[in-house]
Structure 1
């Protein structure tokens, strides 16, 4: 008996996004942490718009980098699981637009929140370029914003998840460690509420860009609504 490959039914956009993300993960595997951060992340990760490391292409390139195995496996598993169904429903062109616009909206939303934080801390949206990590006049939160990049496809993935939930609200999903199927219309809003809680109550040591996730989710909601799709 011939067994069909689990990748046989992948839609073209999802398949190519998976391949590109996996290729972009190769430097993480082959380089040391310091070389990876210096050569890849400092150039292609997304830094705050006034950071000395910011470059205009970063709002696109950041979504193809990942900071570790758990990060890329979670994102690619979500893309593999939900992406093909959504791509079948709205078509390859719109799915690609949704993915990139949600990814771009995610980092812009994150930067907007960071700008508010910077303004609240120093009274301006832009700190002087010349400050160093040892400068006692600059709060540590501002230093973290200026010198900590955002990487990952999570913002785009959240847009895909929201789009999937809006089109297939009654589809039952199984979660790891939860033996009961949960409908998408319940699960995904709970996930969004968790991100809101985590974003506003971010604990020390939590380096997840929760507001980027929320930005991607918001753009996904707006685009599906604007295109006029309805749930089944």
Structure 2
């Protein structure tokens, strides 16, 4: 059995403690309100959520799958990179996940939001209706349609270590391109150099179309893509500079 590396072990412990705290304190809501990542235009957003959401999970299966993947891919990656570079990769992938997912939300939000402003609604009234899901008097049907279009983005929240882990998986694939991997429901060995890009492509398609393949429909698919892309770029840079202080192999 593969030995768990130190940083991976500590990350799993932190995630487990945060999950226990979520269940034990505030009837399951308080930690979520404090530490989940909310859309920046929403009053529920706080700057620390950019980091804390990486250690939050939405349910037992969510954290179990993520921590299993962290152990399976993270330990061999940390053994090569060392604890400091592994942690840098992990947190950077989580930040890349936030950046792409929130950017995608803004891409959905801003055009209709600007149209609502141009139609005569104030920013305060728009925020009030999006926050309460109640339409104020005098709002036209066309404005209601635009409000419905941006309601999901405005009220979106994000939790989980998936973006971080996708970055770690990208690193694992670059280090071990011929390692054979299998899905639980598809027990066919596939080399990492095909398996991991395939997962990323499916996430990208899901994010753009809303078509879910393996994950729940409320998954932040673009966060997966952002995490994987960040992990790939970091590893590409380190590999390119393998003969200087940035080397990873």
Tell me if TM exceeds 0.5: yes
Q: Which has the higher helix share?
A: 2
Q: Structure 1 residue 214 and structure 2 residue 206: aligned?
A: no
Q: CA deviation at 1:174?
A: 2.7
Partner of 2:57: 66
Q: Structure 1 residue 134 and structure 2 residue 128: aligned?
A: no
Are the counterparts in 2 of residues 116 and 125 from structure 1 also a CA contact under 8 Å? no
Question: Which of 180, 195, 200 is the aligned partner of 1:192?
Answer: 200
Q: CA deviation at 1:210?
A: 0.4
Q: CA deviation at 1:203?
A: 4.5
TM-score normalised according to structure 2 size: 0.82
Q: CA deviation at 1:124?
A: 6.9
Q: Structure 1 residue 16 and structure 2 residue 10: aligned?
A: yes
Structure 1's unaligned 5+ residue stretches are: 1-5
Per the alignment, in what secondary structure is the counterpart of residue 206 of structure 1? coil
TM-score normalised according to structure 1 size: 0.88
Moved over 6 A (4+): 229-232
CA 73–125 in structure 1, closer or farther in 2 if over 3 Å, else same: farther
Aligned equivalents of 2:161 and 2:147: distance in 1?
Answer: 29
Give the RMSD, CA atoms, in angstroms.
2.4
1:82-93 to structure 2, matched below 5 A, reads 82-93=73-84
Aligned equivalents of 2:204 and 2:96: distance in 1?
Answer: 16
Most deviating of 171-180 and 14-23: 171-180
Per the alignment, in what secondary structure is the counterpart of residue 208 of structure 1? coil
Per the alignment, in what secondary structure is the counterpart of residue 44 of structure 2? coil
1:89-104 to structure 2, matched below 5 A, reads 89-104=80-95
User: Which string of whole-angstrom CA distances, capped at 9 and with x for unpartnered residues, describes residues 5-25 of structure 1?
Assistant: x58x21111000000001111
Q: Structure 1 residue 227 and structure 2 residue 238: aligned?
A: yes
Per the alignment, in what secondary structure is the counterpart of residue 159 of structure 1? helix
